[in-house]
């Protein structure tokens, strides 16, 4: 039985890892062992931060809604509570977009929330 060597497979695997490490600094870009470790860590960070990005965006939307609603005389909590009582089914992403791009529509929503909570 002939001896098998995994050189083709190894080269392919090494090329794949080194291609993923493109743009890294120093040995992490050139040497397989360092590159493999850097790519593994990068994958772990990417996995965690994909979930953190969702949290960060929600915090940003809430901050924008709060700033816009306070300028119209209502706190964020009172606005959300009033909108729920009024039966307005807009999520925070759309509320933040309205607060930025269409201030008149947002002002009308604030008035609805005020009247529903009163």
pLDDT at 4: 84
pLDDT of residue 2: 86
| 114: helix, strand or coil | helix
What pTM did the predictor assign? Answer: 0.80
Segment (H or E) for 102: none
Write out pLDDT tens, residues 59-87: 999 999 999 999 999 999 999 999 999 99
CB-side exposure of 9: number of CA atoms within 13 Å? Answer: 3
State both tokens at 114. Answer: 């005020």
Which residue segments constitute the domains of the chain, with CATH numbers given?
A: 9-117 (1.10.1900.20)
Confidence of residue 98 (pLDDT cuts 50, 70, 90): very high
- 44-53 pLDDT, tens per residue? 999 999 999 9
């Amino acid at each position: 039985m002939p001896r098998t060597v995994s050189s083709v497979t190894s080269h392919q695997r090494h090329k794949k890892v080194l291609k993923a490490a493109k743009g890294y600094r120093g040995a992490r870009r050139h040497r397989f062992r360092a590159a493999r470790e850097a790519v593994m860590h990068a994958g772990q960070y990417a996995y965690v931060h994909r979930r953190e990005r969702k949290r960060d965006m929600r915090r940003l939307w809430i901050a924008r809604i709060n700033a816009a609603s306070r300028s119209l005389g209502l706190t964020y909590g009172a606005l959300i509570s009033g909108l729920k009582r009024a039966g307005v089914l807009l999520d925070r992403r759309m509320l933040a977009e309205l607060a930025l791009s269409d201030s008149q529509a947002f002002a009308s929503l604030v008035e609805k929330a005020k009247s529903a909570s009163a």
